[in-house]
Amino acid sequence: MASAFVDRPHGDGNVAMRPSRFLTSAMLGFVGVASASVFQCVFAHTEHAGHAAVACAVTFAALGLASYRWMRAQPVAIGLHPDGLTLQARDRETRHMQIAGCAQWSNRLLALTLCGVRGRRETLLVPADSVDAGTFRQLAVQARRAAASHL
């Protein structure tokens, strides 16, 4: 995958975001632990494994569906600009956002607070395994600079 400053033949300047194995495994782990917790709580309250299994299955299905919808709502490409980011959705809709804040977790995950045209804030999680290393580094530096300017 090309980094953010490499000339691309198609010329749109966007970097494709791959699905993150890190976030997918974290969400699967969360769904599994939450479902098991619901099973234990319902089983302790009702002392009936059938009711607990139904509650566990409903919890698993609801959280799994929510996770799936969240993953599908993530942008498929990101464009880095000096004044912000351009996010491209699955339906090719593009939005220009400015970085209002950031948090970085050990070179694995970058949480960006983005501000849109109408002032609406939105959070974007960028795992390190969804983009190449150069783009992730550049995005982290740009996010820290933009966040420092908002302080």
pLDDT tens digits along 41-80: 999 999 999 999 999 999 999 999 999 999 999 999 999 8
The pLDDT, as a whole number, for residue 12 is 57
Distance CA 28, CA 44 (A): 24
Q: Are residues 88 and 138 in the same domain?
A: yes
Asked whether the beta carbons of 143 and 110 are under 8 A apart, the reply is yes
Q: Are residues 27 and 88 in the same domain?
A: no
Q: Are residues 81 and 142 in the same domain?
A: yes
Burial code (b: 16+ CB inside 10 Å, e: under 16) for 95-132 equals eebebbbbebeeeebbebbbbeeeeeeeebbbbbbbbb
Domain count within the chain: 2
**Which range (13-17, 85-89, 145-149) has the least confidence?**
145-149
- Give the end of a domain, one of 29, 50, 73: 73
Q: Per the domain annotation, does 43 fall within a domain? A: yes
Query: 23 is in which domain, residue-wise?
Result: 19-73
Distance CA 82, CA 96 (A): 12
Q: Are residues 28 and 66 in the same domain?
A: yes
Treating both helix axes as pointing N-terminal to C-terminal, what angle do 21-46 and 49-73 enclose, rounded to 10 degrees?
160
What pTM does this model have? Answer: 0.78
State both tokens at 96.
């220009």
Q: Per the domain annotation, does 8 fall within a domain? A: no
Q: Which residue has the tokens 């609801």?
A: 62
Q: Per the domain annotation, does 9 fall within a domain? A: no
Residues 59, 89, 114, 110, CA torsion sign: positive
Q: Are residues 90 and 138 in the same domain?
A: yes
1 has pLDDT over 60: no
Distance CA 112, CA 143 (A): 7
Q: Are residues 69 and 83 in the same domain?
A: no
Q: Are residues 94 and 53 in the same domain?
A: no
Average pLDDT in the chain: 87
127 has pLDDT over 80: yes
Q: Per the domain annotation, does 59 fall within a domain? A: yes
Q: Are residues 69 and 81 in the same domain?
A: no
The pLDDT, as a whole number, for residue 76 is 92
